[in-house]
Chain A
């Protein structure tokens, strides 16, 4: 009888709070449809990890084995990148290459948040891992956090995916605060150039080579994304492309989520650092949005044909949610104003920009701390 009650005796208030947090994540996934593919496994993983003497974690626990095999080695995020690459259609970006610059500007949150985190006393590697939440890209956040601050991977992942799902709530007030109704009403001419299949095939190959030469540490991130895209665009690997987009993506997402959840053990998760990370994650998304909008406004000082500054906000990586938010706001200001294609172009650029910024940061910080 005593053996049966042993686990109850070891059950702490911290474990109970983690059960509650796990439950909230599962609730948000099911009831609110907030990134359910990630938040549900993370929530359940957190519950599994907080059962005293849980056989799911520890030396022979399956979640620890998965962690060592898939997260510690960075394998899961890399596989996810291949899947994402196979899902991305770079067409809107290739047709409007100018949108690339918004994909860079809307990474501002990463850099501002890193400086802010550093000022709050986090180490450089921890600060970069927190700042990268602003990439608005879950796998990049996991990749960088695991490399630089493995102890913070749980809260960073939860923050990244939670705020990605909250983009429709986070971006509109920031955009409204930085733009006038007249600016939001600006309509943009749509001039799309034709993109050949050869261009679509050569683009991922050249981008990998260039990004690799500029920042060698970004090769794993960019290379896997572009490999997935090459499979999609080559036209002779449809089965592999479909497998990457469906089976690979679903399976790795499932394992990634539950494994990340297993790192959310009460004594590591319930700290002031977690609260700070959650706060700074929001800060990063706000400054990403502001960076994109302000950059577009800066360009408008020089361009003869004005850009709707809301397009800049779509330069974050949360695809396609951000583009949809921008189109919805544009139509609300001026019914009939259709800027979805431009927003999608900026949004795709954001996916390239976030991975690139992550790779560059890894390169510079690794060089610095060698």
Chain B
């Protein structure tokens, strides 16, 4: 049981990490888009 809990914990930590990394990427994406396309022609 301890083993499976440890595996679950690792998966959850990975998921949380990937979710945060994706948000950092999206944050950078928005900054780039807003800078590159500030106004419509």
Binding site for B on A (CB under 8 A): 93-94, 97-98, 100-101, 103-104, 107-108, 110-112, 114-115, 118-119, 124, 127, 193-199, 202-203, 206-207, 210-211, 214-215, 349, 352-353, 356-357, 360-361, 364-365, 368
If A196-B40, A198-B40 touch, does A356 touch B4 (CB 8 Å cutoff)?
no
If A100-B23, A101-B20 touch, does A118 touch B4 (CB 8 Å cutoff)?
yes
Contact A202 B14 (CB under 8 A): no
Contact B33 A202 (CB under 8 A): yes
Contact B19 A353 (CB under 8 A): yes
- Interface of chain A, main secondary structure: helix
Contact A356 B22 (CB under 8 A): yes
Contact A215 B29 (CB under 8 A): no
Binding site for A on B (CB under 8 A): 4-5, 7-9, 11-16, 18-23, 25-27, 29-31, 33-34, 37-40
Which residues of B sit under 8 angstroms from A199, Cβ to Cβ? 30, 33-34, 37
Contact B40 A206 (CB under 8 A): no
Which residues of A sit under 8 angstroms from B23, Cβ to Cβ? 100-101, 103-104, 349, 353, 356
Q: How far is the CA of A100 from the CA of B15 in the complex (A)?
A: 16
Query: Can you name the residue of chain B whose Cβ is closest to the Cβ of A201?
Result: B37
- Interface of chain B, main secondary structure: helix
Which residues of A sit under 8 angstroms from B25, Cβ to Cβ? 210, 214
Which residues of B sit under 8 angstroms from A112, Cβ to Cβ? 12
Which residues of B sit under 8 angstroms from A107, Cβ to Cβ? 16, 19
Shortest C-beta distance, B1 to chain A (Å), equals: 8
If A124-B4, A211-B22, A356-B22 touch, does A97 touch B30 (CB 8 Å cutoff)?
yes
* Most chain A Cβ neighbours within 10 Å, of B5, B22, B34: B22
Query: Can you name the residue of chain B whose Cβ is closest to the Cβ of A362?
Result: B15
| Known A97-B27, A101-B27, A199-B33; further 20 A-B contacts with Cβ < 8 A | A97-B31, A100-B23, A100-B30, A104-B19, A107-B19, A110-B15, A112-B12, A115-B5, A115-B12, A118-B5, A124-B4, A198-B33, A199-B37, A206-B29, A210-B25, A357-B15, A360-B19, A361-B11, A364-B14, A364-B18
Which residues of A sit under 8 angstroms from B9, Cβ to Cβ? 115
Contact B19 A94 (CB under 8 A): no
Contact B20 A104 (CB under 8 A): yes
Contact B18 A206 (CB under 8 A): no
Supply 16 A–B pairs (Cβ within 8 Å), ascending by A.
A97-B30, A104-B20, A107-B19, A110-B15, A111-B12, A111-B16, A112-B12, A196-B38, A198-B37, A198-B40, A199-B30, A206-B33, A353-B23, A356-B23, A357-B16, A365-B11
Query: Can you name the residue of chain B whose Cβ is closest to the Cβ of A98?
Result: B27
> Out of A98, A127, A211, A215, which one reaches B8, CB within 8 Å?
A127
* Most chain A Cβ neighbours within 10 Å, of B18, B27, B30: B30
Q: How far is the CA of A54 from the CA of B38 in the complex (A)?
A: 60
Q: How far is the CA of A112 from the CA of B9 in the complex (A)?
A: 9
> Out of A98, A118, A357, which one reaches B19, CB within 8 Å?
A357
Which residues of B sit under 8 angstroms from A119, Cβ to Cβ? 5
Contact A203 B8 (CB under 8 A): no
Shortest C-beta distance, A234 to chain B (Å), equals: 13
Query: Can you name the residue of chain B whose Cβ is closest to the Cβ of A102?
Result: B23
Q: How far is the CA of A193 from the CA of B39 in the complex (A)?
A: 11
Shortest C-beta distance, A174 to chain B (Å), equals: 19
Q: How far is the CA of A199 from the CA of B7 in the complex (A)?
A: 40
Q: How far is the CA of A17 from the CA of B15 in the complex (A)?
A: 38
Contact B34 A193 (CB under 8 A): yes
Which residues of A sit under 8 angstroms from B34, Cβ to Cβ? 94, 97, 193, 195-196, 199
